Amino acid sequence: MRNPARILAAAVLAWALVGCSEETPPPVAPSPGVGETVAVPTESPSASAGPGATEPGIRLTAVPRPDGAFDLIEDVLLPTATDLLQLQVPASGELLPGMMTRTTPRATDLQVMADDQPVAIETPSVDTTREVPLAAPATKLRLTYRLSGSAVRRTAQKPRRANAALRPLLAAAEGTLPTTITVAGGLLNAVCPLLPETRCAMGNPPALAIQPDLPAAQSLVVVQLDLP
């Protein structure tokens, strides 16, 4: 049974994330962006030394799109080699702080590099969970993909303002790895509902960042941002 005090704290933080001074009409779902094609970035801004690059960990770089989707790069360095990736989208069907409606996340255009070698993927999408076998065990991984259905626009009066749930696809399987999530622009607030101290934003806009080195199993982040 969940601790009532933690539930109350999460509710208070959710109210803070939503912002009590803003309008209260129902949320407007992001447009699907049908027909748009924007290439997933090929280089990660977080390629410096540290967990996910030179020591075990995960680095997720999220680039928001005008339609509410995200292009993501997930760099992972494992402590031991694996030949099977267990992937899971963030918070499917859950009602999260500040979201106002349940999410239906889906990862598409999935590409995987394992020890700098491309991995053949028959169906390049993840709707809930799936496994991706590797031809040989690997420790260094890079996943690039587009995440849709994980964001909700706040109001019709502020169509660029949105809340979104982010988490690495490999977080559930690699729960102890330190995880850093970076949002490229527009970040206004961040809440980590699985942490004891749920507010995980650092600094102030426009230089706001998300607390680094989160445990992967607790790295679900609900961000508030202005879409480009």
Can you tell me the distance from the alpha carbon of 74 to that of 82, in angstroms, rounded to the nearest whole number?
A: 16
- Under the banding of pLDDT at 50, 70 and 90, the label for residue 36 is very low
Compute, in degrees rounded to 10, the torsion defined by CA atoms 57, 41, 155, 104: -60
Tell me the pLDDT band of 47, cut-offs 50, 70 and 90. Answer: low
- Tens of pLDDT, residues 172-216: 999 999 999 999 989 999 999 999 999 999 999 889 999 999 999
Q: Averaged over 4-15, what is the pLDDT? A: 41
Tokens of 171: 């977080």
Bigger pLDDT: 25 or 153?
A: 153
pLDDT band at residue 25 using 50, 70 and 90 as cut-offs: very low
Greater pLDDT, 6 or 226: 226
What was the pLDDT predicted at 121?
Answer: 95
70 in Cβ contact with 164 (< 8 Å): yes
How many angstroms separate the CA atoms of 220 and 143, rounded?
17
> What is the number of other CB atoms lying within 10 angstroms of the CB of residue 89?
24
Token representation of residue 177 = 């790895």
Sequence-separated (6 or more) residues with CB below 8 Å from residue 18: 98, 100, 154, 163
Q: How far is the C-alpha of 102 from the C-alpha of 104, rounded, in Å?
A: 7
- What architecture (CATH level 2) is domain 4-17+52-226? Sandwich (2.60)
* pLDDT above 70 for 7: no
Residue % of the chain over a pLDDT of 70: 79
How far from the centroid of its chain's Cα atoms is residue 129's Cα? 15
The amino acid at 110: L
The β-bridge relationship of strands 151-153 and 201-202 is unpaired
Tell me the pTM.
0.79
- Whether 168 and 216 have beta carbons less than 8 Å apart is answered as yes
Confidence band of 27 (pLDDT split at 50, 70, 90): very low
- Mean predicted lDDT score pLDDT of the chain: 82
Nearest in space to 96 (alpha carbons), one of 198, 202, 217, 208: 198
Q: What is the tens place of the pLDDT at every residue in 78-118?
A: 999 999 999 999 987 777 877 778 889 999 999 999 999 99
pLDDT bucket at 75, cuts 50 / 70 / 90: very high
Q: What is the DSSP string of 49-111?
A: SSBTTTBSEEEEEEEE-TTS-EEEEEEEEEEEEEEEEEEE-TTTT---TTTSS----EEEEEE
For residues 100 and 130, the model is more confident at: 130
Tell me the domain boundaries of the chain: 4-17+52-226
CA-wise closest residue to 109 among 157, 85, 155, 74: 74
